[in-house]
Structure 1
Amino acid sequence: MQSRARARRSLALIAMAGVVLYVLVDVVLQLLPPHYSVLADAESDLAVGPFGWIMSLNFLGRAVTSAALAAALLITLPRTIRRDVGLVILALAGLCSAVLAFFPTDIPEVSGTGVAPTTSGGVVHLVAASTGFVLALVACWVLTVESRRGQARIDRPTALAVGLATLGAALLLGTITALPALLGLAERICLVGILGWVFVTASLVRSGQFAV
């Protein structure tokens, strides 16, 4: 039992540190050339340019973060079908993030808008990014419901994170179809919600607030 508790805390700490590092790298890269727009340009654009390799490593780090949280929940939550499904979905979302590191996005022309890819690698990136967002959002919902099973309500930080991720996903869909000038902002709102959920969930696992 002690070894399981240590493993649980260590994995949760890795996930929490992964979220913090990911956000810090994103912020730093946003300040470096070629200075993409936070409002209009997708986060994936940060992987294209003189410092793009750093963002590629960041995508791999996000995959490791997802894997760490999935492993922590695997040894924390009682085994149920819903838990297993949620963990598989979370792992697949992390895999999608890893794919982004090897297939850079296509940067639209200065006069263009939207995220329409122009190369085969760009197509792979767009599919992986879109799939990853959907899977991560579904994992948030499934694992939140499962982890808080039997409780009267979901705690406020978790509910806020899941709600923000859901709102961001809805806004992202709207910007893709109608308002591409705000695509970057909508994507980042969704990402903040997902990463916030990962951090909050990992902190709850580390503090032992989930039943073993």
Structure 2
Amino acid sequence: MIHPLPGPVGRRSATLALAGVIAYVLVDVVLQLLPPHYNPISAAESNLAVGPFGWVMNLNFLGRAASTGVAVVAIGTVGPASRLRRAGLALLLCGGACSAVLAFLPADVPATGDLTVTDHTPIGIAHLAVASTGFLAALAGVTALTVWLRGSGRPRAFPAAAALAVVAATGLLTLGLATAFAPALLGLAERVCLAGILGWTFSACAFIRFGRTRDRSLAR
């Protein structure tokens, strides 16, 4: 079966998602270079939202949510429609919504030299819960959509999507292990997971924006 190419709405949404992912990464890099100079290996990304330039990171969280939203729109314009795609899109959208909520829930930042936070505030606990939910939802959505993508009429998109889904899953597993056993590596593990999720979103939207549908029945 030949599945139609996305229309103008799909292509424009994919373009916005691509720009959003690039902007998010660039802002993260710039903030990492500004005071108070959190260690990206040990410090969680959310720490960047606490400090003199924290408001920029909060805007970045909102931008990630918006990028996820337009990515969901873009993916929703390509076939075939199925329960798996609907579930994957809903989960991915939930992950993006959690990113938006993080902008209003400051993280608890440990004192200089400490690797873990010993005193959790109610808002800090809520931040951890929302962040964890967001990562789990996004990973579940990416996994479901990767399976769906294999039969979507765009087989060339599957290998990159599958590889990035594995990166995200590996990062999330490592994040859990780092939290329990190696807090000095928490920031690195979180960023690996985030790289997998953002990379997956970028890859999927790039194929929607620039790729072409192949008729697999003709290739037999």
User: Aligning the two structures, in what range does the TM-score lie when normalised by the shorter sequence?
Assistant: over 0.9
Q: Distance in 2 between matches of 1:44 and 1:209?
A: 37
Query: Which is further off, 74-83 or 137-146?
Result: 74-83
Name which of 135, 159, 172 aligns with 1:133. 135
Instruction: Choose 111-120 or 73-82, whichever is displaced more.
Output: 111-120
Once residues 59 and 192 of structure 2 are traced to their aligned partners in structure 1, the CA distance between those partners, rounded to angstroms, is 21
Cα 1:156–1:208 shift into 2, 3 Å: closer
- Aligned letter for 1:51? F
Which residue is 1:182 aligned to? Answer: 185
In structure 2, what residue type is equivalent to 1:199?
Answer: F
1:12-91 map, 5 Å: 12-91=14-93
Q: Distance in 2 between matches of 1:59 and 1:11?
A: 19
Superposed, 1:105-124 pairs within 5 Å as 105-114=107-116, 118-124=120-126
- Quote the offset at 1:155 in angstroms: 3.5
Q: Is the 8 A contact 1:22 1:58 kept in 2?
A: yes
Superposition TM-score, scaled by structure 1 size:
0.92
Q: TM-score, normalised by structure 2?
A: 0.89
Residue of structure 2 equivalent to 1:95: 97
Matched with 2:170 is 167
For structure 2, the 5+ residue unaligned runs are 215-220
Matched length: 210
Q: Residue 79 of structure 2 contacts residue 152 of structure 2 at CA under 8 Å; is this kept in 1?
A: no
Tell which structure's C-alpha radius of gyration is larger: 2
1:112 Cα deviation (Å)?
3.1
Q: Which contiguous aligned blocks of 4+ residues in structure 1 show a shift greater than 6 angstroms?
A: 150-154
Take 1:208 and 1:99, find their aligned partners in 2: how far apart are those partners? 33
In the aligned structure 1, how far is the partner of 2:213 from the partner of 2:49? 37
Distance verdict in 2 for CA 1:116–1:14, change over 3 Å: farther
Counterpart of 1:32 in 2: which secondary structure? coil
**Are positions 1:157 and 2:156 aligned together?**
no
Q: Distance in 1 between matches of 2:43 and 2:212?
A: 38
Identify the range of structure 1 (138-147 vs 148-157) with the bigger mean alpha-carbon deviation.
148-157
Amino acid at match of 1:60: L
What are the superposed Cα offsets for residues 45-85 of structure 1, whole Å, 9 maximum, x if unpaired?
00000000000000000000110011111121322111111
Amino acid in the other structure paired with 1:134? L
Sequence identity percentage: 46
CA RMSD, 1 decimal: 2.1
